[in-house]
Amino acid sequence: MSSVLAVPDAVAAASAGTEPEVVVVAVTYNSAAIVEPFLESLPTALKGIDSARVVVVDNASDDGTPDLVRSLAPWAVVVDAGGNLGYGAGLNVALRQGVGERGVLVLNPDAVLSAGAVRSLLDEVSGSHEIGVAVPRILDTSGNLKFSLRREPTLLRAVGEAVLGGHRAARFPRLGDMIRDPAYYVHGATADWATGAAMFISRRTFDAVGLWSEEFFLYSEETDYALRARDAGYHLSYVPDAVAVHPGGEMSRSPWLWSVLAVNRTKLYRKRHGPIASAAYWCVVVLNEAVRAALGRPTHRAALVALLRGRIPRSA
Give the model confidence (pLDDT) of 272-312 as tens digits: 999 999 999 999 999 999 999 998 889 999 999 999 998 77
> What is the pLDDT of the chain when averaged over all its residues?
94
- So what's the pLDDT on residue 314? 65
Q: 35, 69 in Cβ contact below 8 A?
A: yes
**Predicted confidence band at 315 (pLDDT cuts at 50, 70, 90)?**
low
Give the model confidence (pLDDT) of 129-155 as tens digits: 999 999 999 999 999 999 999 999 999
pLDDT at 5 over 80: yes
Give the model confidence (pLDDT) of 105-124 as tens digits: 999 999 999 999 999 999 99
Give one DSSP letter per residue of 219-273, joined into a string. Answer: SSHHHHHHHHHHHTT-EEEEEEEEEEE----HHHH-HHHHHHHHHHHHHHHHHHS
- So what's the pLDDT on residue 313? 67
* Chain Cα centroid distance, residue 37: 18
> In order of start, what are the domains of the chain with their CATH numbers?
9-147+185-248 (3.90.550.10), 251-309 (no CATH)
pLDDT at 1 over 70: no
